[in-house]
Amino acid sequence: QVQLVQSGAEVKKPGASVKVSCKASGYSFTGYYIYWVRQAPGQGPQWMGRIHPNSGDTNYAQKFQGRVIMTRDTSISTAYMELSGLKSDDTAVYYCARDYGELPTVCNCFDPWGQGTLVTVSS
């Protein structure tokens, strides 16, 4: 079945960086956009950006421009999200999610989602 499996929880100090991985299985990795979304405790989801699986082209939410880098390694069907300059309010569950539409169709809707990676930023 289609599955996205993310790396484990992280605890980071303010100012540090974190890199979260998202390994895809059960489908052709190069056929679908991968998105990154975070959800702070008790809050709604917040879109961070997306990466095209073939070209590696990225689109980032303005809020994260300059602090986030999304990459992918097609040889191992894995996407990565690195966030730098961490602050306490970056504490959240970070999700990867696949677009529901197969390229060249793009749905800009997300299914499935990974299990989430809790990133805690604390001194």
Partner 1 sequence: SYELSQPPSVSVSPGQTASITCSGDKLGDKYASWYQQRPGQSPVLVIYQDNKRPSGIPERFSGSNSGNTATLTISGTQAMDEADYYCQTWDSSIYVVFGGGTKLTVL
Cα distance between residue 72 and residue 1, in whole Å = 21
40 binds partner 1 (CB under 8 A): no
Rounded to a whole number of angstroms, the minimum distance from the CB of residue 62 to partner 1 is: 8
Which stretch, 24-32, 37-45, 64-72, 74-82, contacts partner 1 (CB under 8 A)? Answer: 37-45
Instruction: Give the residue from 15, 26, 19, 1 showing the smallest Cα distance to 119.
Output: 19
Contact 50, 58 (CB under 8 A): yes
Cα distance between residue 42 and residue 57, in whole Å = 32
Instruction: Give the residue from 113, 119, 77, 58 showing the smallest Cα distance to 94.
Output: 119
Choice between 27 and 100, CB closer to partner 1: 100
Contact 18, 122 (CB under 8 A): no
> In this chain, which of 61, 69, 103, 118 binds partner 1, going by CB under 8 A?
61
Rounded to a whole number of angstroms, the minimum distance from the CB of residue 109 to partner 1 is: 4
Binding mask 80-119 for partner 1 (x = CB under 8 A): ---------------x-x--x------xxxxxxxxxx---
Enumerate binding residues for partner 1 (CB under 8 A).
35, 37, 43-47, 59, 61, 95, 97, 100, 107-116
